[in-house]
Structure 1
Amino acid sequence: MKLLLGFIIIIVAGFSVNKNLFSNKAYDDVTSVTDIITNYPVNMFDFKQTMQDYAHHLCYKNEDTLTSQHITVNDCISKLDDKKIECEKKVFRLAPLNLESKGEVLDYSRQYTQCTLPYKYILG
């Protein structure tokens, strides 16, 4: 029984490290969401997942800025997760199934990050 419990703890720890450490590496040199998206049209379902991952990245990337505002990275992530559904409904409710241009991608990404991360000076 102790072996099973230990095994479960190791698996959960592994997933946590993977999510928080390795998933952010994909966005290290990214300055804008359009740097991630290279092919158009962009499927809206894929775009929503990309935006959620990118917003998480912005919380980690701007740790110093958040700290100066007395906000922790965990608070930023928590706020993002709390507002995810509300902001998806608000921003994407009338969006097309495919985004055809870089301008559309930038517009929707700006609206989504402003809705989910309403902190000053967070730069993407």
Structure 2
Amino acid sequence: MKLLFGSVLIIIAGFSVNKHVFSSKAYDGVTTVTDVISAYPVDMFDFKKTMKDYAHHLCYRNSDALNTQDITVSDCLSHHDEKKLECEIKVFRLAPQNLESEREVLNYSREYTQCTLPYKYILG
């Protein structure tokens, strides 16, 4: 099962290399991070990688909302990359090694997303 989950993460990382492919194909139909995660418990190390990719997806997916705020997708990605380490420490410092439920995954993903991407009208 870990091999399958690891393979899925590698595929997602491969798509992130090309932002056009990443934004239009890898996360088609994804509305929450739980759409990406298929098996529980979720290892925290894998979850952090998934959240990085998901945050990038949110920047691409919400480009119109960002543009109305005079923020480019590139600015959104840069802001995430700048705040990533600080927010990981803040959000995940007391987190368990494994997330056991969808509810835990959603709670941590919301906190992380709000910390790294504090823009209005970002949906995800």
Q: How much has 1:21 moved relative to structure 2?
A: 2.2
Count matched residues: 109
Give the match for residue 109 of structure 1.
Answer: 109
Structure 2 distance, partners of 1:80, 1:100, is 26
Alignment of 1:61-100 (within 5 A): 61-100=61-100
After TM superposition, list the pairs within 5 Å mapping 1:3-82 onto structure 2. Answer: 18-24=17-23, 25-82=25-82
> After the TM superposition, which of the residue ranges 18-27 and 48-57 deviates more from structure 2?
18-27
What do residues 8-52 of structure 1 show as CA deviations (whole Å, max 9, x unaligned)? xxxxxxx9x943122332112101101111100000000000000
Superposition RMSD on alpha carbons, in Å?
1.5
Q: Separation in 1 of the partners of 2:101 and 2:17? A: 32
Aligned-partner residue type, residue 104 of structure 2: E
Write out per-residue CA displacement over residues 74-110 of structure 1, whole angstroms, 9 at most, x where no aligned residue: 1000000000000000000110010000110000000
Distance in 2 between residues matched to 1:34 and 1:49, nearest whole Å: 14
TM, length-normalised to structure 2: 0.84
Matched letter for residue 65 of structure 2: T
Q: What amino acid is the match of 1:89?
A: I
Q: How far apart, CA to CA, are the structure 2 residues paired with 1:42 and 1:18?
A: 24
Instruction: Tell me the TM-score normalised to structure 1 length.
Output: 0.84
Please tell me the residue identity of whatever aligns with 2:87: C
Identity across the alignment (%)? 68
Counterpart CA distance in 1 for 2:80 and 2:17 is 19
CA distance in 1, matches of 2:18, 2:80: 15
